[in-house]
């Protein structure tokens, strides 16, 4: 059984494939964390709690309960009762007091995995895939019940955590901090890895040794943001791609978050993750509940690579949903970098007609088709067709594109409103704002108050009219600014601090409606590129625009960091024009294709104006993508090169689950003078099998030789050159 309860020790053991997670009810009724790591046969690890050492337990030394609380490893530590490490739960009760004291009350174990109301979460396709433990803690004084929800996946090294807090008392309680997870490690000799960056250089890995005190990343933007991602790994100092212990944590949430590690005076580390408590509050009236988002926890005993592949398998099979979960995505051409706002029906038809002849399958019309939008300073919220630009209307354009055998997609930014719009002139109170304060503009736009159902209903009504008017099969959902002046005209003063979370719930509500009513539409999430690249979004959109930076060389770093947690099949990646519009770099068309092939693949250029040589290369490039995409989309991903350690080259590999084939992709970033060819060792193959390179089938190599001796990559003439090698089991 994945989850068992030892009645004598009052110990819970969760088994997820090769991972064991143990906690138990400690003296005093506190839920203590005992172990998280490689699978163990034992179900009683009480000795790890050191209860026979000072300060002992409250039963034998209640005069030092505070010391007991400050060293006991806890599953869900509260504020104000003696644990002075980082806490995960705090309140303000009816008397204005802030302490909380949650202790064990009951538990239940059942097959499958529950749905979190109003929130995205991983799921079990079948009850046999997972088992769930619910442990209910109670604070009798405050009248609160907190049900901690743990799910162990049977065939993956994954344990998920979330919780539901219920006001079971008779008085109102204000929640001021409700994190989703806490793990106390009996070790402070670890490194912390986070994914940091900015616009156009998102999710660059940052690794540092834990020091005494607190280290954290967070967001207060209303979304995770470009700067930090809601992913953190803690790993042994010697952990690399293939060896060492690694613990990965990912927050299934698309709003403000915090991820923090604290090392303590006793040589331990407490890791916590959840909704950012800054400016957060939630009023719980009697009988009401609050559900905290899910944290995914992954353990690896074989380095960062195994951790990543576990995340990839989980998200591909147990988070991403819908028609395109297990399908190759349409090869699209987006007109943004081709035309920006300067387009017409005639221009889009020209692009579509040329693209269809080359094998491209979808035209996506980006920003500028609505209201009176000729630049980014107007019309957000006016989701009706700009007839002056699209002569003949939207349906006529879509029908024409469909006549070429192509699908049609469209861009929306539904969470935003422009001051220069019919919507804002009619409903200025629908923008998030503080009465009496001037609104801060960013990109000359404001944020709509998605905590309000009437606002969401109105916007969705406009979107439906567009979607029902023509054969639209793809939506790019963008969000190009963050929240300021956080308040709502529709919330009472005692609930104003709920605006941040209610906004995110509103976004989820609208995305849920959209994907339910239009299940055949492929939804791609975007937020100024990759500012909202999180598992909450993957629940609704199987792919996310990885970055507005489409330069192939910059993408090597961005896609490397993204792959630490997120599957390559979710990475929106396009071949764009050169000089690149972000960095001005010139790279070979073939290299641009090989880098984009890691992700969903498409084009971001004016196919009618690019060099003839590049245009002629597109059909073969598309054929190559179609050939290898099943392996890229479903296989195991191995990072071989690392541009953050050596910026002269990069390489990665995809291996079939049955190890029958492997695709090696190599990029020579900088040509080295007077050097021998480079030798690359493959990974993940069957050492006893023999493989041949498809381009030279007469020569066979053992899997052992390919992994330990390696293959030779000939030096290419010039910078930014790429090579692919396809190995097939003989």
- Residues with a known catalytic role: 478, 548
User: What is the rounded distance in angstroms from the CA atom of residue 685 to the CA atom of residue 668?
Assistant: 24
- Mean pLDDT (the chain) is 97
| Residue 158 pLDDT exceeds 90 | yes
| Residue 656 pLDDT exceeds 80 | yes
For strands 602-604 and 575-576, give the pairing: parallel
- pTM for the structure as a whole: 0.97
**Per-residue model confidence (pLDDT) at position 682:** 98
Residues sharing a CB contact under 8 Å with residue 720, sequence separation 6 or more, in sequence order: 552, 553, 585, 586, 587, 588, 591, 667, 668, 669
| Residue 83 pLDDT exceeds 90 | yes
Sorting pLDDT into bands at 50, 70 and 90, what band is 56?
Answer: confident
**Distance set, CA 557 to CA 335, 375, 595, 645 (Å):** 25, 31, 11, 11
Contact 44, 183 (CB under 8 A): no
Q: Is 442 exposed, middle or buried (0-12, 13-18, 19+ CB in 10 A)?
A: middle
User: What is the rounded distance in angstroms from the CA atom of residue 695 to the CA atom of residue 689?
Assistant: 19
Give the rounded distance of the alpha carbon of 166 from its chain centre. 28
256 vs 61, higher pLDDT: 256
**Per-residue model confidence (pLDDT) at position 474:** 98
Convert the pLDDT of each residue in 187-206 to its tens digit.
999 999 999 999 999 999 99
Convert the pLDDT of each residue in 363-377 to its tens digit.
999 999 999 999 999
Question: Helix (H, G, I), strand (E, B), or coil: what is residue 204?
Answer: strand
Unique residue bearing structure tokens 């030779």: 712
What is the secondary structure of 605-622 as a DSSP string?
A: S-TTTS-HHHHHHHHHHH
> Rounded to 5 degrees, what are φ and ψ at 157?
-80, 65
Contact 639, 668 (CB under 8 A): no
**Distance set, CA 241 to CA 6, 157, 255, 353 (Å):** 36, 17, 30, 45
**Per-residue model confidence (pLDDT) at position 521:** 98
H/E run at residue 649: strand 649-655
What is the secondary structure of 291-332 as a DSSP string?
A: EEEEEEEEEESBHHHHHHHHHHHHHHHHT--STTTTSPPP-E
H/E run at residue 506: helix 499-517
| Residue 100 pLDDT exceeds 90 | yes
477 vs 62, higher pLDDT: 477
User: What is the rounded distance in angstroms from the CA atom of residue 181 to the CA atom of residue 296?
Assistant: 9
Question: Helix (H, G, I), strand (E, B), or coil: what is residue 683?
Answer: coil
Convert the pLDDT of each residue in 11-39 to its tens digit.
999 999 999 999 999 999 999 999 999 99
| Tokens coding 472 | 């639209």
**Per-residue model confidence (pLDDT) at position 506:** 98
**Per-residue model confidence (pLDDT) at position 59:** 86
Convert the pLDDT of each residue in 266-315 to its tens digit.
999 999 999 999 999 999 999 999 999 999 999 999 999 999 999 999 99
Convert the pLDDT of each residue in 684-708 to its tens digit.
999 999 999 999 999 999 999 999 9
**Per-residue model confidence (pLDDT) at position 182:** 98
Secondary structure letter of residue 676 according to DSSP = P
Contact 142, 81 (CB under 8 A): no
Sorting pLDDT into bands at 50, 70 and 90, what band is 442?
Answer: very high
**Per-residue model confidence (pLDDT) at position 678:** 94
Question: Helix (H, G, I), strand (E, B), or coil: what is residue 159?
Answer: strand
Sorting pLDDT into bands at 50, 70 and 90, what band is 57?
Answer: confident
**Per-residue model confidence (pLDDT) at position 707:** 98
| Residue 1 pLDDT exceeds 80 | no
Sorting pLDDT into bands at 50, 70 and 90, what band is 714?
Answer: confident
Mean pLDDT (whole number) for 478-499: 97
- What domains sit in the chain, N to C, each tagged with a CATH number? 3-318 (2.70.98.60), 332-634 (3.20.20.70), 649-729 (2.60.40.1180)
**Per-residue model confidence (pLDDT) at position 349:** 98
| Residue 45 pLDDT exceeds 90 | yes
Secondary structure letter of residue 442 according to DSSP = B
Unique residue bearing structure tokens 């006549």: 403
Sorting pLDDT into bands at 50, 70 and 90, what band is 424?
Answer: very high
Sorting pLDDT into bands at 50, 70 and 90, what band is 42?
Answer: very high
Query: ∠ CA(510), CA(515), CA(519), 5° rounding?
Result: 160
**Distance set, CA 400 to CA 170, 304, 350, 353, 672 (Å):** 63, 48, 10, 9, 50
| Residue 61 pLDDT exceeds 90 | no
| Residue 328 pLDDT exceeds 80 | yes
């Amino acid at each position: 059984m994945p989850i068992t309860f030892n009645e004598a020790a009052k110990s819970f053991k969760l088994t997820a494939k090769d991972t064991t997670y143990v906690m138990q009810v400690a003296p005093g009724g506190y839920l203590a964390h005992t172990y998280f790591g490689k699978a163990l046969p034992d179900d009683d690890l009480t000795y790890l709690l050191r209860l026979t050492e000072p300060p002992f337990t409250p039963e034998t030394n209640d005069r030092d309960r505070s010391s007991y609380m400050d060293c006991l490893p806890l599953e869900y530590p509260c504020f104000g009762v003696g644990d002075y490490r980082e806490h995960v739960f705090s309140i303000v009760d009816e008397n204005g007091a802030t302490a909380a004291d949650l202790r064990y009350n009951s538990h239940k174990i059942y097959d499958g995995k529950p749905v979190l109301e109003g929130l995205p979460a991983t799921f079990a396709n079948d009850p046999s895939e997972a088992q769930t433990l619910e442990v209910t803690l109670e604070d009798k004084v405050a009248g609160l019940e907190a049900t901690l929800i743990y799910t162990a996946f049977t065939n993956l090294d994954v344990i998920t955590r979330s919780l539901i807090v219920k006001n079971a008392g008779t008085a109102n309680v204000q929640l001021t901090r409700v994190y989703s997870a806490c793990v106390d490690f009996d070790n402070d000799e670890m490194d912390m890895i986070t994914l940091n960056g900015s616009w156009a250089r998102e999710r660059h890995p940052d690794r540092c040794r834990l020091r005494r005190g607190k280290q954290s990343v967070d967001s207060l933007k209303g979304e995770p943001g470009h700067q930090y991602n809601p992913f953190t790994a803690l790993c042994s100092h010697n952990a690399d791609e293939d060896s060492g212990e690694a613990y990965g944590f990912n927050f299934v949430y698309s709003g403000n978050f915090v991820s923090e590690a604290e090392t303590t005076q006793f040589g331990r580390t407490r890791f916590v993750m959840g909704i950012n408590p800054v400016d957060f509050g939630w009023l719980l009236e009697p009988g009401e509940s609050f559900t905290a988002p899910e944290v995914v926890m992954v353990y690896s005993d074989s380095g960062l690579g195994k951790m990543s592949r576990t995340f990839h398998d989980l998200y591909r099979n147990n988070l991403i949903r819908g028609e395109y979960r297990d399908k190759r995505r349409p090869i699209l051409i987006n007109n943004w970098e081709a035309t920006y706002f300067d387009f017409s029906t005639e221009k889009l038809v020209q692009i579509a007609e040329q693209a269809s002849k080359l094998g491209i399958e979808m035209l996506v019309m980006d920003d500028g088709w609505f209201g009176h939008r000729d630049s980014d300073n107007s019309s957000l919220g006016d989701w009706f067709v700009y007839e002056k630009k699209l002569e003949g209307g939207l349906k006529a354009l879509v029908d024409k594109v469909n006549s070429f055998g192509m699908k049609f997609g469209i861009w929306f930014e539904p969470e935003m409103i422009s001051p220069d719009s019919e919507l804002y002139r009619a409903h200025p109170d629908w923008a998030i704002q503080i009465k009496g304060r001037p609104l801060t503009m960013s990109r000359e736009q404001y944020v709509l108050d998605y905590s309000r159902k009437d606002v969401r209903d109105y916007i969705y009504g406009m979107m439906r009219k567009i979607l029902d008017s023509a054969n639209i099969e793809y939506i790019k959902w963008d969000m190009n600014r963050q929240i300021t002046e956080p308040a709502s005209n529709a919330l009472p003063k005692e609930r104003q601090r709920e605006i941040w979370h209610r906004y995110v719930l509103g976004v989820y509500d609208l995305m849920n409606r959209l994907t339910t009513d239009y299940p055949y539409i492929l939804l791609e999430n975007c937020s100024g590129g990759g500012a909202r690249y999180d598992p909450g979004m993957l629940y609704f959109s199987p792919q996310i625009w990885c970055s507005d930076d489409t330069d192939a060389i910059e993408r090597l770093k961005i896609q490397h960091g993204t792959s630490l947690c997120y599957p390559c099949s979710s990475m929106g990646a396009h071949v764009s024009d050169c000089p690149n519009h972000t960095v001005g770099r010139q790279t070979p068309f073939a290299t641009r294709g090989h880098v984009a092939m890691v992700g969903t693949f498409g084009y971001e250029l004016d196919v009618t104006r690019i060099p003839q040589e590049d245009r002629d290369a597109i059909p073969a490039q598309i054929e190559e993508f179609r050939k290898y995409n099943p392996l890229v989309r479903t296989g195991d991903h191995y990072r071989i090169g690392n541009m953050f350690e050596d910026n002269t080259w990069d390489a990665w590999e995809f291996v079939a689950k049955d190890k029958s084939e492997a695709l090696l992709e190599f990029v020579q970033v900088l040509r080295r003078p007077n050097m021998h060819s480079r030798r690359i060792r493959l990974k993940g193959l069957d050492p006893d099998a023999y493989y041949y390179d498809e381009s030279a089938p007469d020569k066979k190599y053992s899997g052992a030789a390919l992994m330990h001796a390696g293959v030779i990559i000939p030096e290419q003439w010039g910078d930014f050159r790429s090579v692919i090698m396809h190995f097939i089991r003989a």
